[in-house]
Amino acid sequence: MLDRIERIRDEGRAAIAAAADAAAVEEARVRYLGRKAELTTILRGIGELPAAERGPVGKAGNEVRRELEGLVEEAAARHERSELDRRLAAEAIDVTLPGTPPVRLGHLHPLTRTRREIEDIFIGLGYRIAEGPEVEHDYYNFTALNHPPGHPARMLQDTFYVDPASLGDGVELYGSDGAPLTAPPGPRDVLLRTHTSPMQVRAMEDAEPPIFIIVPGRVYRRDSDATHTPMFSQVEGLAVGDGITLADLHGTLLTFARAVFGEERDVRIRPHFFPFTEPSVEVDVSCFRCGGSGELDRERCGLCKGTGWLEILGAGMVDPNVFGFVRDRGYDPDHVQGFAFGMGIERIAMLKHGVPDLRMFFENDVRMLEQFR
Ligand code: PHE
């Protein structure tokens, strides 16, 4: 009997050691330690053995049983671990890889990108962003900006007027003198703003000096050709405070021009006229294609047309007459001064990216837009 137990031990050890996976280990367990296993039968039958054999057979049988149990447990754990490792390796997902979206991701419109770039530059200079209504009163668009009655920009063929009846009830309207309208509004009291400059007056009504704001937004004019669309976008700038001069305007716009068009750029200002600035100027940046020489490969530079300069915006010192409309908000024309400027976002984007036709920004042709990823 003891020989049988020894044989079972040897066979059991060998079978467990040879088991190639967890299933084979389980098979060996059933075979050598299961309810119907030889060893189990021997141990169960001990009572029927002659008294002298019971002790040694029981001892040896239980020892072998414990040993094989231990080996099974160890082998099962080993196989489980390596099987888990294998599965982890085979099913591994690299969660740090970028996803693969089923459609190509979109991107910002080139005009949005240009607007944000301009905003970032002026935020860096300490300006804050203000926005105003696109449907505007004649008062803010013209009168308070020193456009005298009869100014040609107020003519029906220059400006889009809005039928006041279409605005609904409860909208308070002002006449061209800034006073609330007593009579029903006339056909020329409400319009689509022709520039972002009305926000100069609105912003000064809202806050005392010093004031440093930029105003991005859509504006409307009755123009339509390769460089003019009935709707386009501007960024207005207004800086009012103690002792602000034309030199500050020049320095500010130089910083701006270099940030957008490159560190080597220069800026020049030329006399001009706007009703709401005095003096008024137009601002040019040196051509970034030819470096300002006007010549490219011995030929006339096509971008600046040989002049070496590109016009980028209109500007000037805020006219004292404009301050006169907000005198009671702390803008005494005899004491405060400041500058204002206004630029077309499309124009900046066209220059920067060499876009030949302004209308391309609004046609939404993906072949054009995809170049601005
Ligand atoms: N509003 C002017 C325009 O649209 C630009 C401008 C803004 C000029 C501020 C001077 C000062 O042409």
3-state secondary structure of 334: coil
Could you tell me the distance, in angstroms and rounded to a whole number, from the CA of residue 291 to the centre of ligand 1?
A: 27
Q: Which domain holds residue 57?
A: 2-90
Please report which confidence band the pLDDT of residue 172 belongs to, taking 50, 70 and 90 as the band edges: confident
CB-CB contact of 198 with 136 (8 Å): yes
Q: What is the reported pLDDT for 124?
A: 98
Could you tell me the distance, in angstroms and rounded to a whole number, from the CA of residue 215 to the centre of ligand 1?
A: 12
Mutate to test the pocket of ligand 1, among 197, 233, 345 (most ligand atoms within 8 A of CB): 197
Residue that is last in its domain, among 25, 58, 90: 90
Residue 185, pLDDT > 80, answer no
Q: What is the reported pLDDT for 299?
A: 95
If asked whether residues 62 and 207 sit together in one domain, one would say no
Please check whether residue 105 lies inside any domain of the structure: no
Number of domains in the chain: 2
- Beta pairing partners, 135: 192
3-state secondary structure of 275: coil
Q: Is the C-beta atom of 79 inside 6 A of ligand 1?
A: no
Q: What is the reported pLDDT for 96?
A: 87
From the list 314, 302, 322, the residue with the least C-alpha distance to 249 is 314
If asked whether residues 64 and 124 sit together in one domain, one would say no
CA of 195, closest atom in ligand 1:
4
Q: Is the C-beta atom of 274 inside 6 A of ligand 1?
A: yes
Q: Is the C-beta atom of 315 inside 6 A of ligand 1?
A: yes
Mutate to test the pocket of ligand 1, among 159, 195, 346, 348 (most ligand atoms within 8 A of CB): 195
Please check whether residue 208 lies inside any domain of the structure: yes
If asked whether residues 359 and 310 sit together in one domain, one would say yes
From the list 192, 169, 219, 161, the residue with the least C-alpha distance to 347 is 219
Percentage, residues of the chain above pLDDT 70: 98
For the residues 291-304, what does the mean pLDDT come to?
93
Q: What is the reported pLDDT for 105?
A: 80
CA of 280, closest atom in ligand 1:
10
Q: Is residue 180 classed exposed, middle or buried when 0-12, 13-18 and 19+ CB atoms within 10 A define those classes?
A: exposed
If asked whether residues 48 and 125 sit together in one domain, one would say no
Mutate to test the pocket of ligand 1, among 136, 215, 233, 274 (most ligand atoms within 8 A of CB): 274
234-240-241 Cα angle (round to 5): 155
Q: What is the reported pLDDT for 176?
A: 77
Please give the C-alpha separations between residue 143 and each of 160, 177, 219, 324, in angstroms, as whole numbers.
16, 7, 17, 12
Please tell me the residue having the least CA distance from ligand 1 atom 7.
342
Q: What is the reported pLDDT for 274?
A: 96
Q: What is the reported pLDDT for 182?
A: 67
Minimum mean pLDDT among 80-89, 317-326, 333-342: which range?
80-89
If asked whether residues 29 and 120 sit together in one domain, one would say no
Q: Is the C-beta atom of 221 inside 6 A of ligand 1?
A: no
Which tens digit of pLDDT belongs to each residue from 17-42?
999 998 999 999 999 999 999 989 99
Which two structure tokens, joined as six digits, stand for 109?
A: 């419109």
Could you tell me the distance, in angstroms and rounded to a whole number, from the CA of residue 186 to the centre of ligand 1?
A: 26
Residue 226, pLDDT > 90, answer no
If asked whether residues 72 and 11 sit together in one domain, one would say yes
Please check whether residue 286 lies inside any domain of the structure: yes
Could you tell me the distance, in angstroms and rounded to a whole number, from the CA of residue 237 to the centre of ligand 1?
A: 9
* Residue 292: half-sphere exposure toward Cβ, Cα within 13 Å: 10
Q: Is the C-beta atom of 200 inside 6 A of ligand 1?
A: no
Q: Give the CATH number, domain containing residue 330.
A: 3.30.930.10
If asked whether residues 121 and 19 sit together in one domain, one would say no
Residue 187, pLDDT > 80, answer no
Which tens digit of pLDDT belongs to each residue from 270-295?
999 999 999 999 999 999 999 999 99
If asked whether residues 19 and 69 sit together in one domain, one would say yes
Q: Is the C-beta atom of 195 inside 6 A of ligand 1?
A: yes
Please tell me the residue having the least CA distance from ligand 1 atom 10.
315
Residue 186, pLDDT > 80, answer no
Please check whether residue 263 lies inside any domain of the structure: yes
Which tens digit of pLDDT belongs to each residue from 344-363?
999 999 999 989 899 999 99
177 or 265: which carries more pLDDT confidence? 265
Q: Is the C-beta atom of 314 inside 6 A of ligand 1?
A: yes
For the residues 289-304, what does the mean pLDDT come to?
93
If asked whether residues 71 and 208 sit together in one domain, one would say no
Q: Is the C-beta atom of 220 inside 6 A of ligand 1?
A: no
* Mean pLDDT, the chain, whole residue set: 92
Please report which confidence band the pLDDT of residue 183 belongs to, taking 50, 70 and 90 as the band edges: low
If asked whether residues 256 and 334 sit together in one domain, one would say yes
Please check whether residue 104 lies inside any domain of the structure: no
Please check whether residue 341 lies inside any domain of the structure: yes
Residue 101, pLDDT > 80, answer no
Q: Which amino acid is at 334?
A: D
Please check whether residue 144 lies inside any domain of the structure: no
Could you tell me the distance, in angstroms and rounded to a whole number, from the CA of residue 281 to the centre of ligand 1?
A: 10
Which tens digit of pLDDT belongs to each residue from 103-123?
778 899 999 999 999 999 999
If asked whether residues 82 and 116 sit together in one domain, one would say no
Residue that is last in its domain, among 55, 90, 125: 90
Minimum mean pLDDT among 76-85, 166-175, 276-285, 312-321: which range?
166-175
Cα distance between residue 34 and residue 322, in whole Å = 102
Which tens digit of pLDDT belongs to each residue from 66-83?
999 999 999 999 999 998
Minimum mean pLDDT among 132-136, 163-167, 265-269, 338-342: which range?
163-167
For the residues 316-343, what does the mean pLDDT come to?
97
Q: What is the reported pLDDT for 181?
A: 76
For the residues 203-217, what does the mean pLDDT come to?
97
If asked whether residues 129 and 31 sit together in one domain, one would say no
* Letter string b/e over residues 243-256, b meaning 16 or more CB atoms within 10 A of that residue's CB: ebeeeebbebbbeb
Percentage, residues of the chain above pLDDT 90: 71
Please check whether residue 212 lies inside any domain of the structure: yes
Q: Is the C-beta atom of 232 inside 6 A of ligand 1?
A: no
Q: Is the C-beta atom of 341 inside 6 A of ligand 1?
A: yes
Q: What is the reported pLDDT for 358?
A: 92
